[in-house]
Amino acid sequence: MIHSFQILKKWWFKIIDFKKILLLMVFWSIIINLSSISVYKIRNSFLDYENTNFEVLGLNLPANLSFAGEKVPLNDFEIKENLEKEFFGNKSWKSSSLLLFNKAKKWFPLIESILAKEGVPDDFKYVAVIESHLSNVISPMGAAGFWQIMPNTAQGYGLIINNDVDERYDIEKSTIAACKHFKEGYAYFKNWTLSAAAYNVGIGGIQNALKKQNTTNYYDLLLNNETGSFIYRILAFKTLLSNPKHFGINNKLNNTATFPKFKIVRVDSSITNLHAFAKHLETNVVTLKTFNAWLVGDKLSNPEKHLYEFKIPKNKNIDLSNYFDDVFPQKNQIDTNVKVLAIDTILNVKDTLKMHLN
């Protein structure tokens, strides 16, 4: 009897041990499942930070980064972190990259040729990308055009701004003005990276920061958020447009693209009737203002006898829609005469313009 009891007791403890084991297995199974869910959430949150747009896990920074031939020190953790914010924190790239590529294909050939002529490194074209996304926009502070130049700065570089004319919207003249600023910065700093940063905060702003922080290196500076991220953003857009595959984008810029060919009409007198002027040039007001966006009024007052150049495309069948939205991105900037083509019947308008045709 006692022996039977001992056997029963032995089996009872085995059952209890089995239950413990079973409970432990259930417990660890729950823990493992919860861990898997957490890992999945962490992985997804990592994707949200690292590369939301293209769903590629573990995308890294390019092995070599430089601006205007000046290398970026990637061995510094803080610099890498700042770069990662610009490279992988921009959630609009997937939706806007195609539009930006189309803009770059149109406007880069024109900008690149001016930069080369002015002796400014080609990488400075990306400054226009981050300033305006290659559009004639106006900032709340009053900066305007592709290069977002303030009125006083523009006039200091020789650009004309009045009720009828705003040459900040002349892409060629504004690019030349921006080049003057870049070269002034380089003449002082002997460094293109600092020159680019000075475009955002001013040469004096960078001078003061370097002096106070006792350094000569942009990457060592503590600056305001906008200026502090300025170069990093340039580098991100440079990589996007020059090496889109790094972001999983199958697109590339066409190096053989060219800007349209123009007939140049030079005028040193006032124009009181743009429609008559356009008709005289065998074009229309829409075409006239699309390629001469600096003409912001409905006339041209010119008592100072400035010599203005009008660009008239030689191809009369050119698709204006490719350029219209870039030069007139804001509806309140567009003259109603330009938005809608009107059929004018101009009777015997005597053209008294003093013109020199190229």
Q: Could you write out the DSSP letters of every residue in 267-318?
A: E-S-BS-HHHHHHHTTS-HHHHHHS-TTB-SSSB--TT---EEEEEES-TT-
**CA 70, CA 245: separation in Å to the nearest integer?**
23
pLDDT band at 12 (very low <50, low <70, confident <90, very high): very low
Cα(163)–Cα(152) distance, rounded to whole angstroms? 15
What is the C-alpha to C-alpha distance for residues 74 and 34, in angstroms, rounded to an integer?
A: 37
Q: pLDDT by residue (tens digit) across 65-104?
A: 999 999 999 888 888 888 888 887 766 665 678 889 989 9
Model confidence pLDDT, tens digit, residues 181-231: 999 999 999 999 999 999 999 999 999 999 999 999 999 999 999 999 999
Q: What is the mean pLDDT of residues 305-311?
A: 96
- Compute, in degrees rounded to 10, the torsion defined by CA atoms 194, 195, 199, 200: 0
Number of H helices, E strands in the chain: 14, 5
3-class SS at 231? helix
178-210: burial string, b at 16+ Cβ within 10 Å, e else: bbebbeebbeebebbbbbbbbbbbebeebeebb
Give the whole-angstrom CA distance, residue 344 versus residue 288: 15
Please give the Cα distance from 328 to 290 (Å, whole number).
Answer: 8
Per-residue tokens: 112? 């690149």
pLDDT number for residue 64: 87
- Of the candidates 111, 136, 281, 127, the one whose C-alpha atom is nearest the C-alpha of residue 199 is 127
Look up residue 332 and give its DSSP letter: G
